[in-house]
Amino acid sequence: MLSDFINSIIHDALFIKYGLVGLFFNGMFSSFIPIPTEITISALLLGGISVYAGDNTFNGYQNKVKPGINFNLAGIFYLSDSKAIKIDFGYTYLKPNYDNYYYSSDPAHPSSYEGGDISQFYAKGNILVGSFSPSQRLIMYASLGFGIHYMVQKEATIKYWYQYYQDSTWQQYTEYHQSESNVNALLSVGAALGYRVTEKLGIMGEIEYNLVTTNGFLLFSTSSYFPMRIGLYYNF
């Protein structure tokens, strides 16, 4: 009974048609995307700092940003000893650089900037090209990634003094900036170097350049940053 059922599927016209199509695509793509006989996966947990590459725009104002912390959780799916796909999720926490605030530098009339903390979340897929051979202690790769970037900046309060030139009197002003958030596209390039401590466990260092779009997903802006991190990876 089972043999009759299997025989009917094998000789079915639809099965034959799409089976041949599948064989065709497998033969066409296998030359540069080899299908491994055994899927190997690595999990990465990395942490470090992020350095902003330009000014941050908040409520229409440009302001400097201090280096902040960065965490990354990722999975690498190996296609061969030289190609892989990585899926990663990241978080960066940044604070405005109060020391670079441009209002009065008079010690008797200091400016203050409170709030405005920045949280950035992203999820992206990456194509990796490098050396992943299990027989080597060192692994390395270059990456190209694309994904979704979400940023939220908390409300901020700015207090500053302004001196009138007519009579040299000082007047204090207070500005309030509302919290804002946006979702944009993210393009990243990076490189990594790792060392296998054991067959399963290793150390990885990674640096990326993340470029974030503006106005949704259409234009690239100066909102870009460099995550630099180090951590552990585990081979399953």
Q: Are residues 82 and 137 in the same domain?
A: yes
Q: Are residues 116 and 193 in the same domain?
A: yes
Q: Are residues 22 and 109 in the same domain?
A: no
Please give the tally of structural domains in the chain. Answer: 2
Q: Are residues 24 and 70 in the same domain?
A: no
Q: Are residues 93 and 175 in the same domain?
A: yes
Q: Is the pLDDT of residue 37 over 70?
A: no
210-221 average pLDDT score: 69
Q: What is the pLDDT of residue 131?
A: 93
Q: Are residues 13 and 109 in the same domain?
A: no
Q: What distances in angstroms separate CA 24 from CA 13, 55, 79, one per listed residue?
A: 17, 51, 19
Q: Give the CATH number of the domain where residue 220 resides.
A: 2.40.160.20
Q: What's the CA gap between 13 and 116, in Å, rounded?
A: 64
Q: What's the CA gap between 132 and 194, in Å, rounded?
A: 10
Q: What's the CA gap between 40 and 128, in Å, rounded?
A: 14
Q: Are residues 11 and 101 in the same domain?
A: no
Which of 165-169, 177-181, 186-190 has the largest mean confidence?
186-190
Q: Are residues 153 and 79 in the same domain?
A: yes
18 pLDDT tier (thresholds 50, 70, 90): very low
SS3 33: coil
Which amino acid, 214?
T
Q: Are residues 88 and 195 in the same domain?
A: yes
pTM of the model: 0.72
What's the pLDDT tens digit per position in 105-145? 677 777 777 888 889 999 999 999 999 988 889 999 999 99
Q: Are residues 11 and 94 in the same domain?
A: no
Domain with 127 in it = 36-235
Q: Which is more confident, 17 or 181?
A: 181
Q: Are residues 111 and 22 in the same domain?
A: no
Length of the chain: 236
182 pLDDT tier (thresholds 50, 70, 90): confident
Q: Is the pLDDT of residue 228 over 80?
A: yes
213 pLDDT tier (thresholds 50, 70, 90): confident
Q: Is the pLDDT of residue 6 over 60?
A: no
Element (H, E) at 9: helix 2-10
Quick check: 195 and 201 in contact, CB under 8 A? Answer: no
Q: Is the pLDDT of residue 10 over 70?
A: no
Q: Are residues 187 and 75 in the same domain?
A: yes
Q: What is the pLDDT of residue 214?
A: 73
